[in-house]
Chain A
Amino acid sequence: MSDPVALELREQFATPEQQRETASAGMWIFLMTEVLMFGALFSAYTVYRILHPQGFALGSSEMDILLGSINTAILLTTSLMMAFAESNAQEGNERWLAICLIAVMLLGAVFLYVKFSEYIEHYHEHKAPGFWFEDSSPYANNVQLFFVFYFIMTGLHAVHMIIGIGIMAFLLFRTWVGSFSAQYHTPIVIGGLYWHFVDIVWIFLYAIFYLPGLHR
């Protein structure tokens, strides 16, 4: 058996150390991009919420707070599982690493299932923006604007979740073929960074879409 660390060393790097640090720097820089990407949407949302407080409050009252809270709990649990995955990877427990990754994927899928059933519910209640949108309140246009942001932002988040599950599947495959060890498990750490970021975004989405409606 050859040394797994040396096996994974790409030709442009001098040491495994350098490769590990570079890979994690790359993910952090990518997350900077993501912050600005979601940040632009959060800013636009904020502008319109200040412009149209009534419409946004009405829109938020259409949200199912129970489903939203369950989904929040699910995602927080996946983050915990991801943290377990990382510590198991560090200790070289490949079996538990695999189990944690499977848990992350399954819970992520449950999250998406709940999310899409919410979407379908909104569609049946004529709250999906577009020509099928209906609202009898005097703030109908503003309620629609709320739902535009709701669908764009949670939709973009869902896309990130799907990509995240894909990454987990890839990591699981590599765990299964035995690529990782206590010495080399950088991809787990980097995949984890991404997953945690997507979770954090959800916390903010939960706060701006589900919670404002609670006051009513």
Chain B
Amino acid sequence: MIEAVPVEVEKNYLTEKQGVLSWFLTTDHKRIAILYTVAVTALFFLGGFFALMMRLELLSPRNWLVSAETYNKLFTMHGIIMVWFFLIPSIPNTLGNFVMPMALGAKDLAFPKLNLLSWYVFMFAAAVTVYALFRGGVDTGWTFYTPFSTSYSTTYVVAAAVGIFISGFSSILTGLNFIATTHKMRAPGLTWYRLPIFVWSMYATSLILVLATPVLAITLLMVAVERIFQVGIFDPALGGDPVLFQHMFWFYSHPAVYIMVLPAMAVVSEIIPAFARKPLFGYKAVAWSSIAIATLGFLVWGHHMFTAGTSVYSAMVFSFLSYCIAVPSAIKVFNWAATIYKGSISWDTPMLYAIGFVGLFTIGGMTGLFLAALGFDVHVQDTYFVVAHFHYIMVGGTVMAFLGGVHYWWPKISGKMYPEGLARVCAIVVFLGFNLTFFPQFVLGYLGMPRRYAAYPEEFQFLHILSTAGATILGVGYVAPLLYLLWAWKYAKPATSNPWRATGLEWKTPSPPPAHNFESTPVVNTRPYDYEAMKEELDLV
């Protein structure tokens, strides 16, 4: 065998320009995606550290590690960091930023400078929030419920609210950019029904980002005004209505769940056809179900307030609508399953994560239906059942898909492969660790263990120990990919332009891509996920 002689390599987006400033002043969506990846990864481990502290504290029924006050701050900061500084930007701003323009055959997003601005706004917001944290933290819970947050808490509520307020601008700028890009930057021939589901789902996500985020901004602004001027916007003693806060907060925060999970669905819809070697089953249904989720998502916020004294009629309507939103989610799950059916499946790491996502998302979604049922919800309201439910969606769903997506597009991003065997083991470790962490919490909640308590009756200890053990395994499963991917960036073997033999325009350009993505603007004349045509091509070769 003759060693391949390194030929004069064409410049790619990583080598095109050099130096620190070329990164901090870049308007290249691919570089901004990497800036975001570094930032959200750091914040993910910060939020994960808080989670680990909580799990350690819960090893014992008594307070043994931290005080009850510190525990309150731990779960608050865990929630704030994970929701606004990891889950919301995680997939859209990293993989979305990197892949979207290429999937559209575009040179860049519609507004590259706005894209960079959104990163700076995000970093500033993160700095303000981390400042609030180091000055002493916040103890209101990530939900900032009034009147505790406005009248009683003595912690840094305003600073944290300002941090989240600012991060909202970054979300809005990203959403705006993606919507305009999808409408106006598609390659010739790339009609809406030829778009990959990745783009459809990102588009739906962006609609929510643009329409829901301003409501959160205003709500937090009112909380801050009330705290600073002591004017009682949500204080019943001064004529305010604390439940109005909950309405406004959940008008954003329920759709925000779909900001977190629609991008995960976007990633999975790319991975599954590629590794089952089949076109995505029910393409149009999957595409429109993203839009349906985004729309219906705005109509179900009241299910967070079944026990807050809202009228039984409104509760019934919100319960019914919450059932309705399960339909488009189920459409996706069934179509993924139908895509896998009789496919020739290869069990590479991205596929392991994608399959894990489908299973865990299904459990998370089904338990969501339990919670949408009025009677059952009253029983488990504010218990670990709810905690387990949304962690199945957000950690089992979004984080799994994020990792799957990172592995799937890793060759494109870095131009290198990753250690496949090790990565598969880690995917399985993550899956097992996750279930060991959160499945016992369903049982805990059903038995009556309330959320947000640092101490608990002794009969719950066994399940809590199981959960903490699982969290430790999960932690290892998260650190390992960070380490081997950093290793792979430098030392792994180079990737070809299309290592997965996947469809999609991003695979038609070298890995890593040149600064403007394509040598010449691609023209599209085939349907998406055309794995049958690709099979014939490969058979001919």
When each residue 113-142 of chain A gets 1 if its CB lies under 8 Å from chain B and 0 otherwise, what string results?
Answer: 000000000000000011101000000011
Most chain A C-beta atoms within 10 Å of own C-beta, residue among B107, B108, B185, B239: B239
Asked if A69 is an interface residue, CB under 8 A from chain B, the answer is: no
Q: How many residues of B contact A (CB 8 A)?
A: 43
Stretch at the interface among B2-10, B217-225, B258-266: B217-225
Residues of B within 8 A of A26 (CB): 110-111, 114, 176-177, 180
The docked-state distance in angstroms from the alpha carbon of A184 to that of B278 is: 48
On whether the beta carbons of A47 and B241 are closer than 8 Å, the reply is yes
Contact of A33 among B106, B213, B238, B244 (CB under 8 A): B213
Asked if B189 is an interface residue, CB under 8 A from chain A, the answer is: no
B241:A131 contact, CB within 8 angstroms: no
Contact with B along A54-71 (1 / 0, CB 8 A): 010000000000000000
Residues on the A chain within 8 Å of B239, using CB: 48, 51-52, 55, 141-142, 144-145
Does A145 contact B232, Cβ atoms closer than 8 Å? Answer: yes
Take A44-B248, A141-B239 as given contacts and tell me if A37 and B217 are in contact as well, using a CB distance cutoff of 8 Å. Answer: yes
Interface 1/0 per residue, B224-262 and A, CB below 8 Å: 010001111100001111001000100100000000000
Q: Which of A22, A129, A144, A145 contacts B110 (CB 8 A)?
A: A22
| Cβ-defined contact, B225 with A145, below 8 A | no
* Residues of chain B lying within 8 A (CB to CB) of residue A41: 218
| B172 within 8 Å of A (CB atoms) | yes
Q: Is the beta-carbon distance between A144 and B210 smaller than 8 angstroms?
A: no
How many angstroms from the CA of A131 to the CA of B232 in the assembled complex?
12
- Do B215 and A40 touch across chains, with their CB atoms under 8 A apart? yes
CB neighbours (8 Å) of B172 from chain A are 30, 33
Whether the pair A22, B184 counts as a contact (CB closer than 8 A) is yes
| Closest Cβ neighbor of A21 among chain B residues | B184
Is the beta-carbon distance between A148 and B233 smaller than 8 angstroms? yes
Least CB distance, A194 to chain B, in whole angstroms = 13
Question: Is there a chain B Cβ closer than 8 Å to A203's Cβ?
Answer: no
Indicate if the CB atoms of B180 and A25 lie closer than 8 Å: yes
Q: Are A48 and B230 in contact (CB under 8 A)?
A: no
Query: Closest residue to A153 on the B side, CB-wise?
Result: B218
A residues in contact with B184, CB < 8 Å = 18, 21-22, 25
Q: Is A33's CB under 8 angstroms from B210's CB?
A: yes
* Contact between B110 and A12, CB atoms less than 8 A apart: yes
* Given A29-B180, A44-B248, A12 contacting B214 (CB threshold 8 A): no
| B contact residues around A152 at 8 Å (CB) | 221-222, 225
CB distance from B224 to the nearest CB of A (A): 11
Number of interface residues of A (CB under 8 A): 36
Check A6 for interface membership: any CB of B closer than 8 A: no
B183 touches A25 (CB 8 A): yes
Cα(A181)–Cα(B63), bound, Å: 72
- B112: CB under 8 A from chain A? yes
CA distance A43 to B245 in the complex (A): 12
On whether the beta carbons of A33 and B211 are closer than 8 Å, the reply is: yes
Distance, CA A36 to CA B106, complexed state (A): 30
Which residue of chain B has the shortest Cβ distance to A26 in the bound complex? Answer: B180
Residue of A nearest to B238 (CB): A141
Contact of A36 with B214 in the complex, beta carbons under 8 Å: yes
- Expressed in whole angstroms, the minimum distance between the Cβ of A163 and any Cβ of chain B is 13
Which one of B179, B183, B214, B225 lies within 8 Å of A40 (CB-CB)?
Answer: B214
**Is A1 in contact with chain B by the CB < 8 A criterion?**
no
Give complex CA distance A10, B114 in Å.
Answer: 13
Docked CA distance A26–B185 (Å): 12
Residues of the B chain whose Cβ atoms lie less than 8 Å from the Cβ of A131: 229-230
**Other-chain contact of A22, B185, B231, B232, B248 (Cβ < 8 Å):** B185
* Shortest beta-carbon distance from B241 to chain A in Å: 7
- 20 cross-chain CB contacts under 8 A: A14-B521, A18-B184, A21-B184, A26-B180, A29-B180, A32-B211, A36-B212, A37-B215, A37-B217, A40-B215, A40-B251, A47-B241, A52-B239, A55-B239, A129-B231, A141-B239, A145-B231, A145-B239, A148-B225, A152-B225
Nearest first, the 10 closest Cβ-Cβ pairs linking A and B are A37-B214, A12-B108, A22-B184, A40-B218, A130-B229, A141-B239, A40-B215, A129-B231, A36-B214, A12-B107
- Report B's interface with A, CB cutoff 8 A: 106-112, 114, 172, 175-177, 179-180, 183-185, 210-215, 217-219, 221-222, 225, 229-233, 238-241, 244, 248, 251, 516, 521
Q: A12-B110, A144-B232 are known; give 14 further A-B pairs, CB within 8 A.
A: A11-B108, A12-B106, A12-B109, A14-B521, A22-B180, A22-B185, A25-B183, A29-B175, A29-B180, A37-B218, A41-B218, A52-B239, A129-B231, A141-B238
